[in-house]
Amino acid sequence: PHPTFPFLLLEQKQSHFAVEKKKNKAYSQFKQFPLTFPFPSLPVNIITFSPFHLTKPKPHPFHSTSFPSKKNQMANIPSELLTDILSLLPVRSLLRFRLSSKSLRSLIDSHNFINLHLHNSFNFTLILRHNSDLYQLDFPTLATAVPLNHPLMCYSNRITLFGSCNGILCISNIADDIAFWNPNIRKHRIIPYLPISPRSESDTSLFAARVHGFGFDPFDCDYKLVRISYFVDLQQRTFDSQVRVFSSRTNSWKALPSMPYALCCARTMGVLVENSLHWIVTRKLEPFQPDLIVAFNLTLEIFEEVPLPEIEVANSESFEIDVAVLGGCLCMIVNYQASKVDVWVMRKYGSRDSWCKLFTLVESCFILPLKSLRPLGYSDYGSKVLLEVDRKKLFWYDFKTEQVVYAQGIPSLNEGMICVESLVPPSLHMDNYRKENQHKLRCESISNRRDDFLSQGFKLTL
């Protein structure tokens, strides 16, 4: 049968309608989902049916035989109510729904509706990468892995994920082509190529690594891509970096001052939390230097250290830290190699006191040591959390039983990320309509928040 999409039907007190099934292979299937809205006089139901096979309902024998057309039914629904209802629907339903009329297409394609739908969206997908293949699964059900045809196919087909924001993926191929891509609406935008700037002849440092981060700057209404190229001089034990930022609004790259930290390249993808990108770094290229979490503020375009919790360890016990995002909060993974793995969550961003240990994995859960562990997201009721282990497999950790269960039927993977479904097009030009004074006031507010952030202290206590 053809796929279904929601149709809005306004109930009337003294009338009753029915939708008949056609007697062919494409039977219409419908299911009623009652919703409650703050309009007591306008009870509304969402009825799903196939738009290709609609049978005219039979009139109620005790009422008029006239049946209002679909156009009249839609016209009777207040525009604000219709917009609110549509903003709750999944993307695939809206893409079919927009084909029914020009007015609905204009509404669904409008900037205001796209932003409203993004704000109200509770539909998430899990994006998995395995070598050159990408898959999309509904989250948290993890039902049916759907292959994705990305727009950067080339001679190798190898693909890299740089991040996800507002439903847009940032991807790259082996030829260093980069694209902003929304797989739900199948639209993409190619980013201008930027080669690494050559070093001076007297410079003896060597190229060591390159990391990227992708996010949204809400104050400038701008999607930004950050690239950090890292150079190391092993003889002098010094390091340097080239920081470049791409602005979607200006469609150009710009250079920023170098990052005063050495990268610890556990992962090359920056972790986006609270409009900042996060990486694991250290201050010096020396043994036994503590790892830190550094944040790149997408609005101020500066680096800040994140205050870490006090971690109690034995004198001879070593550990490594990694960073992730879990439920919209900054997450820190402390891997003690052979003994255990602690997972911490920062409940209030920027506050050292808000760190709390979420759970601990011991040898009864996994065969230790683990190369890497990263939480991806919570289950529907928050009783479980999905874990990516050693960049190979997915497991559910149950908070109540403190045990892990292998997620069955999932393709092999190199990495995964949770992505929200959205209608946001990668080429969306955001209108910067704020006045200069308003922008200045907001920047001052951010500056004050940054000072408060830094004043709390950020040294890692061992």
pLDDT of residue 266: 61
- Look up residue 356 and give its two tokens: 């709390």
Quickly state the pLDDT bin for 87 (edges 50, 70, 90).
very high
**Do 174 and 72 sit in the same domain of this protein?**
no
Contact yes or no for 430/221 (Cβ under 8 A): yes
Residue 374: inside a domain, yes or no?
no
Is the domain of 10 the same as that of 77? yes
DSSP E strands: which ranges in 108-221?
A: 124-130, 133-139, 146-148, 159-165, 168-173, 178-182, 187-191, 206-217
Q: Distance (Å, rounded) from C-alpha 100 to C-alpha 292?
A: 53
Residue 125 phi, psi dihedral angles, 5° rounding: -125, 155
Number of domains in the chain: 2
Domain of residue 314, CATH code: 2.120.10
Domain finish residue from 97, 120, 143: 120
Non-local (6+) Cβ contacts of 351 within 8 A are 307, 456
350 in Cβ contact with 452 (< 8 Å): yes
Domain boundary among 73, 91, 120: 120
Q: Are residues 294 and 151 part of one domain?
A: yes
Residues 180, 207 share a domain: yes
Distance CA 318, CA 334 (A): 10
Is residue 75 within 8 A of residue 39, CB to CB? The reply is no
Q: What is the mean pLDDT of residues 190-206?
A: 83
Task: Tell me if 179 is assigned to some domain.
Answer: yes
Place of tokens 């902003």: 180
Tell me the pLDDT tens digit for each residue of 431-456.
443 444 345 445 555 555 555 554 45
Candidate from 29-33, 88-92, 367-371, 374-378 with smallest mean pLDDT: 29-33
Beta bridge partners of 115: none
* Domain assignment present for 453: no
The answer on 70 and 110 residing in a single domain is yes
Based on the fold, state whether residues 15 and 158 are members of the same structural domain. Answer: no
What pLDDT score was predicted for residue 449?
55
For residue 393, tell me if it sits in a domain.
no
156 and 265 in one domain? yes
- 219 in the same domain as 309: yes
Are residue 245 and residue 354 in the same domain, yes or no? yes
> Residue 345's pLDDT band (boundaries 50, 70, 90)?
very high
Pair (113, 179) in one structural domain: no
Residue 268 pLDDT class (50, 70, 90 cuts): confident
Query: What residues make up the domain containing 109?
Result: 5-120
- Banded pLDDT at 16 (limits 50, 70, 90): very low
Domain annotation covers residue 212? yes
Q: Is residue 421 pLDDT above 80, yes or no?
A: yes
In terms of domains, do 136 and 102 share one?
no
pLDDT of 213-249, one tens digit each? 999 999 999 999 999 999 998 888 889 999 999 999 9
Question: Could you tell me where the DSSP H helices lie in 102-248?
Answer: 102-109, 111-120
Instruction: Report the C-alpha gap between 158 and 174 in whole angstroms.
Output: 6
What is the pLDDT at residue 387?
96
Of 96, 120, 144, which one is at a domain's C-terminal end? 120
Long-range interactions of 431-434: CB distance < 8 A, separation 24+: 431/111, 431/221, 432/220, 432/221, 432/249
Least confident of 210-214, 338-342, 425-429: 425-429
Q: Does 449 fall in a domain? A: no
The conformation of residue 434, written as its DSSP 8-state character, comes to -
In a domain, 457, yes or no: no
How far is the C-alpha of 59 from the C-alpha of 20, rounded, in Å?
Answer: 12
Q: Same structural domain for residues 67 and 157? A: no
Neighbouring CB atoms inside 10 A of 413's CB total: 20
Average model confidence (pLDDT) for the chain? 80
Cis ω for the linkage preceding 369 (within 30 of 0): yes
At residue 167, the pLDDT reads 96
Is 212:119 a contact under the CB 8 Å cutoff? no
**Torsion over CA of 105, 106, 111 and 117, rounded to 10 degrees?**
-40
Q: Is residue 391 part of a domain?
A: no
